[in-house]
Amino acid sequence: MNSSIVKQKFDTLKTFKVLKPEILKVAEDYVNASDDWKLLRVNPLKFATDHQIDDNDSVDFFVHAAKVGLFDFAYNLICPMCGGIVHSHHKLDEIEGKEFHCVSCNIIVPTLLDDQVEVAFQIHPSLQKNEIDPFIDITNYFRYFFSENFEKSNELRAWIQSTIKDYAKIQPDDSYEFEYDTKFGDLQGHLVQFVSIDRNSMCLFSVDPSLPHSNQSYLVDLMESGMKPNMVTIPAGHHRFTIHNRTRFKVGLNVLTPNPKEIERIANTFPTIRHSFLTAKMLLNNQSFRDLFRIQKLSPDLNLNVKSLTIMFTDLKGSTEMYDTAGDIFAYKLVQEHFSILTEIVRKFKGAIVKTMGDAIMATFSTPTEGLLAALEMMKRIDSMNLDWKKEGYEIGLKVGLNEGSALAVVNDERLDYFGQSVNIAARVQGLAKSGEVWLSETVWNATGPEELVKQHGYFYRKQKATLKGVGTPVPVFQLSRKKIKNLSRWKQIFKKSER
């Protein structure tokens, strides 16, 4: 570890006001005392738990640490069944495709920022060269290429071990040979599988007992694009398999005799424990990440799916009139104070501001509960702000709308943005609100179960249906207000307006 450069990095981190001194002290001690394995893939949420600090503080530290070159991002595409790291990237826009293939489990996994993209942090190679050799033995190999956030049961681990017949390290342009006898037992569906997890490639030999018994030799080329052939039907017999490494890299090779039905049964009976980790969705909803990393560095072709995103739109009532009556300077000061309050609250509830539009913002959160809590606190803080400004004869009214649903993460106007019907609905729901009101779509209401929460904050609620522009059928919506609504004609006016 280059201790002098590490100290310089932490001195730089101390200049960021958002980072607490006590967090920096804990992190600096951790970096200086940790070995290569601990600094290989740091999980900020586990780091927070282990050191009894807030999740937000932990994520903020690692994001800032990546900015100053103390850590690198690692975007790992994780198989939900085995926890294998199928691909690892240092940049978000290196992630390609809507799905990826786990060769260990032989399943197709959707590339979702919510669940399947793990964000970890690796110590920067300029500070410490990682001396881990993942190919030295099978223990190192599995530890290196599988996420620690997926803890397999003892039963599942024992079954997997029983299917592993051999492990080998193959140098470039070298070969590995394996002999296997398939003439005994029930061979229907019997499989012999060669898997290189590090190259994410495999070859599967399936025994067909209806074929005449025969002893055969098979050659498999492990190429940059995968193993060729990758699927072969063979007869019962004594076979010799030769795997030739035609890549430029040293590779690891597992030889297995898998049973997909049995491993699925064991996995369902004794499920894998998934520990909390920072997902790509959570990172994109982190304000520090948006503030520090210029989105225009991302590819304009970036196109990634988010399964569940909570989207907030806000707007102000009374700001236009205030510009006319109070003048630009006074009104600008008031609007900026409102932006400062909203930004602080969005950050507090693990959200991020995507963009501002005049006096309005669009923000996103990882969960509906965080979005709703943020909205309710915004209302409270704006009310407090108005107590001071009313003395000057002015006040503003905040209007908030929330929706939860899938979205597409894209680069738009040189910034990371979201598109899709869920975004449109959030904007339309906000358009229903009057000053001091929060409106929710049904997905937010159902996800949060907010009845008691709403009452605790002094709000009444009412469910109705509204026809929103761009949405074919009327949809349920929920109005949160501090005042009871007694006049139903008021609702009819709102919904007629929303149909235009």
On whether both 114 and 161 belong to a single domain, the answer is no
148 within some domain: no
On whether both 345 and 481 belong to a single domain, the answer is yes
This prediction has a pTM of 0.85
On whether both 323 and 427 belong to a single domain, the answer is yes
292-313: string of b/e by CB count within 10 Å (b at 16+)? ebebeebeeebbbbbebbbbbb
What value does the mean pLDDT of the chain take? 88
On whether both 267 and 315 belong to a single domain, the answer is no
On whether both 303 and 267 belong to a single domain, the answer is no
Task: Determine the 3-state secondary structure of 399 from DSSP.
Answer: strand
- The pairing of strands 217-223 and 85-89 is unpaired
144 within some domain: no
Residue 309: pLDDT band with limits 50, 70, 90:
very high
Per residue in 333-377, pLDDT tens?
A: 888 889 999 999 999 999 999 999 988 999 999 999 999 999 999
In one-letter notation, the amino acid at residue 84 is G
On whether both 466 and 378 belong to a single domain, the answer is yes
451 within some domain: yes
CATH code for the domain in which residue 311 is found: 3.30.70.1230
317 within some domain: yes
On whether both 31 and 92 belong to a single domain, the answer is yes
User: Prior bond to 300 cis, omega within 30?
Assistant: no
pLDDT at site 346: 97
In whole angstroms, what is the distance from residue 370 CA to residue 448 CA?
A: 9
On whether both 92 and 30 belong to a single domain, the answer is yes
On whether both 106 and 244 belong to a single domain, the answer is no
On whether both 320 and 358 belong to a single domain, the answer is yes
- Give the residue from 87, 116, 131 where a domain finishes: 131
57 within some domain: yes
Range of the domain at 189: 154-271
In one-letter notation, the amino acid at residue 303 is N
Task: Determine the 3-state secondary structure of 142 from DSSP.
Answer: helix
Q: Which residues are paired to 202 by β-bridges?
A: 195
On whether both 465 and 326 belong to a single domain, the answer is yes
Tally of domains in the chain: 3
407 within some domain: yes
- Residue given tokens 């950050």 in the structure block: 347
pLDDT at site 262: 85
- Give the residue from 131, 146, 174 where a domain finishes: 131
Please state which of the ranges 191-205, 219-233, 276-290, 449-463 shows the lowest mean pLDDT.
449-463
Task: Examine the pLDDT at 13 and tell me if it is beyond 60.
Answer: yes
Q: Taking CA 8 as the corner, what is the angle to CA 6 and CA 11, rounded to the nearest 5 degrees?
A: 110
219 within some domain: yes
On whether both 311 and 267 belong to a single domain, the answer is no
- For residue 334, give Cα distances in angstroms to 231, 389, 496: 67, 8, 32
pLDDT higher at 458 or 297: 458
Q: Which residues are paired to 478 by β-bridges?
A: 440, 463
Please state which of the ranges 148-162, 320-334, 407-421 shows the lowest mean pLDDT.
320-334
Per residue in 181-202, pLDDT tens?
A: 886 544 455 889 999 999 999 9
Task: Examine the pLDDT at 325 and tell me if it is beyond 70.
Answer: no
Please state which of the ranges 65-69, 96-100, 287-291 shows the lowest mean pLDDT.
96-100
